[in-house]
Chain A
Amino acid sequence: MPNCINQAAGPSPAGNAVVTKYLHSVVIMIRRGNYVTSDPLQAIDQLPSNPEEISQEISEKLEPSRKYPGALIVVEGIDGSGKSTQLYLLKRWLEINGYRLHFTEWNSSPLVKSATRRGKQRRLLTPTTFSLLHAADFADRCERQIMPLLHSGYLVLADRYIYTAFARDVARHCSPRWLRNLYHFAPVPDITFYFRAPLDVAVKRIMSGRPKLKYYEAGMDLNLSLDRAESFRIFQGRILAQYDEMVESDNFVVMDGTLPVNSLQKQMRQMVKARIDLSRFAPKKSTRRPL
């Protein structure tokens, strides 16, 4: 049996802290739909009775796993919130300083690409198959890139992560419980930056740069409006609401997307320095080339 479990089970002055954490966990589990039944008494029966047990169960899903030496930084937000620009600038800063990093983008696995493209072109996708294909794409990147890199001590930067799926797919009426289960294998990020921009600002940014919105991008499959721009707006509004729901339950760091780019980037870099020991990712002496 691992040491940490023995220590956790041993006599400790945890007291109030444990109870608070327990209750917090219960709230989050209920919110996420883990333990919903039609009968509230049965729901209570389903909860593990030992506070440490539930706290452990929930913290597995809430806190970054420390089973690997790497670290995972994620940006999330609706289209036009500025997240990709900010992650790019963060990446440049880290690269210029020589840190070991890898950048990964949502929906980019070559293995799953052709299926996704075909499904979108022919409009074959339902909310369920749309969600499953993106999960397959993520699984491929997760198993073949993200996890191996985290295990070999890389800083992994992800432009969109599982929260994109949660927000988008719930906006398409997929069940939150089903989605949380679907992505259960994903490592919990060390930091999730949530770029929050008002709907009007974000939509204006997207519409001015991209005159033609794609069918699924605009949420046309949901019959929200026959007008693509209007449909996009409604759909993005729903996604925004879903992101807001997750701020607390998934420990998002909220960034004000209306601030100037450079001041946002400054905040972002400070946060990264404060939360992650970057020296772990510094270039190794042996690999540094002589000047």
Chain B
Amino acid sequence: MKTGKTTKSKDGGKIVLAPSGASPRNYGLPLPGIADEEFGGSLIVLEGMDGSGRSTQIALLTEWLESEGFAVETMGLRRSGLVAKDIDALLAENTITRMTLTLMYATDFYDQLEHRIIPALRSDFVVLADRYFYTLIARAGARGIQRDYLNGLYEMALRPDLTFWLNVRPEIAFEREFRKSHTISYWESGRDLSLSDDLFQSFILYQAKIKKEFESLSRRHGFLSLDGEASVISVNNELRKRIAAHLGITRTHYRPSSALAPLWR
């Protein structure tokens, strides 16, 4: 399955051009110092807000892929060796401004791309990304940073082989998150945007903004949208079906180990 279509060739006479240098593996530019080689491996992205079931699915997919004999590497936001801790500290302080935060997240993303994803792909790993730069674009876009700027910033990112978007209504996501951790994060509810004094309202309004950004990203990048409100089992079945087709796995039966069994609902 190809997800790489980004541009409509002709739209009412106006030609939309892919940036020069766009390749099947990037969005316009190769990373400096890294030739635009054909890496092996596969990059599979799961997007969706907190409470959409991403982490649960990643845990299950990792186990399934490993049982099928695939080596798995994961990535996510704020997990780079370079700046993850600094971002945590900056977020706690609240003095950071939107552009600085955008660029710190970009640093975190590219550090993982260069030091984690690319080496893993070269070694023929399946990389499961618990969120990708799409979330970063959506968040920055919701805070008023120009779309062109953001697309340019991530021009050197690798194009995933598959991108799934777990779609959930904000109300449901809020309830799931609250049940799990009894709190909702300041940033995940967009409180820096002063949308509402009420935490729940703020979360709903903010996630609606993010969803709008995601709808436009989905058109541009060809996400596979899944119903994140369905049961864990049925979302997982759907994910495995698509991933199996991509990786050429014929036997798609999977039963989680006892360690993960509580997730299997």
Binding site for B on A (CB under 8 A): 36-38, 42, 45-46, 109, 111-112, 114-115, 118-119, 124-129, 132-133, 135-136, 139-140, 142-144, 172-175, 177-178, 181-182, 184-185
Cβ A136 vs Cβ B32 within 8 A: no
Cβ B97 vs Cβ A132 within 8 A: no
9 contacts between A and B (CB under 8 A): A42-B17, A114-B86, A126-B33, A126-B114, A128-B31, A136-B100, A140-B96, A172-B32, A181-B153
Binding site for A on B (CB under 8 A): 15, 17, 19-20, 29, 31-33, 81-83, 86, 90, 95-100, 102-104, 106-107, 110-111, 114-115, 148-149, 152-153, 155-156
Known: A132-B106, A136-B103. A181 touches B81 (CB 8 A): no
Closest 7 CB pairs of A and B: A181-B152, A136-B103, A173-B32, A143-B97, A139-B99, A132-B107, A115-B86
Closest partner residue, chain B, to A135 (CB atom): B103
In the complex, A142 Cα to B152 Cα: how many Å? 20
Set of chain A residues within 8 Å of B32, measured between Cβ atoms: 126-128, 172-175
- Total A-B pairs, Cβ < 8 A: 102
Set of chain A residues within 8 Å of B103, measured between Cβ atoms: 132, 135-136, 139
Cβ B29 vs Cβ A178 within 8 A: yes
Closest partner residue, chain A, to B114 (CB atom): A126
Closest partner residue, chain B, to A185 (CB atom): B99
**Do most interface residues of chain A lie in helix, strand or loop, or is the interface mixed?**
helix
Give the shortest distance, in Å, between B34 (CB) and chain A (any CB): 9
Cβ A129 vs Cβ B99 within 8 A: no
Cβ B156 vs Cβ A128 within 8 A: yes
The residue among B15, B32, B106, B153 with the most chain A CB atoms within 10 A of its own CB is B32
- Residue among B82, B97, B110, B114 making CB contact with A115, cutoff 8 Å: B82
